[in-house]
Chain A
Amino acid sequence: MTARRTRIFWMAFAVILALLIVMPFGLPEFWRRFLTEILIWGLLAMSSDILIGYTGMVSFGHSAFFGLGMYGAAAALLTTRPPSLWLALLYGLIAAATVAAFVAYFSTRLRDIYFAITTLIFSQIFYVIIFTWTDATGGENGLAFSRPALAIPGLFSLPFTTLTLYWFVLAVVTGSYLVLRRITRSPFGMVLQSIRENEARTRAIGYPVERYKIVAVMFSGLFAGLAGVLYAIQNRFAAPDFVFFVVSGEAVIYNIMGGVGTLVGPIVGAAAFLLLREGLSRLFPYLASVASQHGLALPGLAEFPYLIPLGIIFIAIVIFMPQGLLGFARRRLNE
Chain B
Amino acid sequence: MAADLSSAALAAAAAPVGAAPVLRTEDLGIRFGGLAALNGVNFAVARGEIRAVIGPNGAGKSTFFNCLTGVLRPSSGRILFNDDEITGLSPNRISRKGIARSYQITNILPNATTLENVRIAAQSRRHGWSLFTHHRAFRDIIEKAEAVLATVGLAAKADELAANLSHGEQRNLEIGIALATEPQLLCLDEPTAGMSAGETDDTIALVRRIARDLTILIVEHDMTVVMGLAHRITVLHYGAILAEGTPAEIQSNPRVLEVYLKT
Residues in chain A within 8 A of chain B (CB atoms): 182-183, 185-191, 193-194, 197-198, 200-209, 328, 331-334
**Which residues in B have their C-beta under 8 angstroms from that of A205?**
92, 95, 100, 120-121, 124, 177-178, 180-181
A-B contact count (CB 8 A): 106
**Which residues in A have their C-beta under 8 angstroms from that of B262?**
none
A201-B109 in contact given A187-B133, A206-B92, A206-B96 (Cβ < 8 Å): yes
Residues in chain B within 8 A of chain A (CB atoms): 69, 71, 90-92, 95-96, 100-101, 103, 107-113, 115-116, 119-121, 123-125, 127-135, 138, 141, 161, 177-178, 180-181
- Docked-complex contact A197 and B109, CB < 8 angstroms: yes
For A209, the closest partner residue in chain B by CB is: B92
17 A–B contacts from the bound complex (CB under 8 Å): A182-B132, A186-B131, A186-B134, A187-B127, A187-B133, A188-B129, A189-B131, A190-B120, A197-B112, A198-B109, A200-B71, A201-B103, A205-B121, A206-B95, A206-B96, A333-B109, A334-B115
A184 to chain B: closest CB distance in Å? 10
B163 to chain A: closest CB distance in Å? 9
**Which residues in A have their C-beta under 8 angstroms from that of B132?**
182-183, 186
- Docked-complex contact B111 and A203, CB < 8 angstroms: no
- Docked-complex contact B92 and A186, CB < 8 angstroms: no
B148 to chain A: closest CB distance in Å? 12
A282 to chain B: closest CB distance in Å? 42
- Docked-complex contact B113 and A187, CB < 8 angstroms: no
**Which residues in A have their C-beta under 8 angstroms from that of B111?**
197, 328, 331-333
**Which residues in B have their C-beta under 8 angstroms from that of A328?**
111
- Docked-complex contact B161 and A208, CB < 8 angstroms: no
- Docked-complex contact B128 and A207, CB < 8 angstroms: yes
For B95, the closest partner residue in chain A by CB is: A206
- Docked-complex contact B109 and A191, CB < 8 angstroms: no
B119 to chain A: closest CB distance in Å? 8
**Which residues in A have their C-beta under 8 angstroms from that of B129?**
187-188
For A330, the closest partner residue in chain B by CB is: B111
**Which residues in B have their C-beta under 8 angstroms from that of A187?**
123, 127-130, 133, 135, 138, 141
**Which residues in A have their C-beta under 8 angstroms from that of B120?**
190-191, 194, 202, 205
Interface-centre pick from A183, A328, A332, A333 (highest chain B CB count, 10 A): A333
- Docked-complex contact B92 and A208, CB < 8 angstroms: yes
**Which residues in A have their C-beta under 8 angstroms from that of B69?**
204
**Which residues in B have their C-beta under 8 angstroms from that of A332?**
111-113, 161
**Which residues in B have their C-beta under 8 angstroms from that of A190?**
116, 119-120, 123, 135
- Of A182, A193, A198, the residue contacting B108 (CB under 8 A) is A198
A-B interface, 8 closest residue pairs, ranked by CB to CB distance from nearest? A206-B95, A206-B124, A333-B112, A197-B109, A205-B121, A187-B130, A203-B91, A187-B127
- Docked-complex contact A183 and B131, CB < 8 angstroms: yes
**Which residues in B have their C-beta under 8 angstroms from that of A333?**
109, 111-113, 116
A251 to chain B: closest CB distance in Å? 23
- Of B108, B141, B181, the residue contacting A206 (CB under 8 A) is B181
For B174, the closest partner residue in chain A by CB is: A201
- Docked-complex contact B109 and A200, CB < 8 angstroms: no
User: CA A200 – CA B71 in complex, angstroms?
Assistant: 9
User: CA A49 – CA B258 in complex, angstroms?
Assistant: 58
User: CA A331 – CA B92 in complex, angstroms?
Assistant: 26
For B97, the closest partner residue in chain A by CB is: A206
- Of A193, A194, A207, the residue contacting B92 (CB under 8 A) is A207
A185-B135 in contact given A194-B109, A331-B111, A332-B112 (Cβ < 8 Å): yes
**Which residues in A have their C-beta under 8 angstroms from that of B101?**
204
Interface-centre pick from B120, B123, B178 (highest chain A CB count, 10 A): B120
**Which residues in A have their C-beta under 8 angstroms from that of B91?**
200, 203-204
User: CA A200 – CA B66 in complex, angstroms?
Assistant: 12
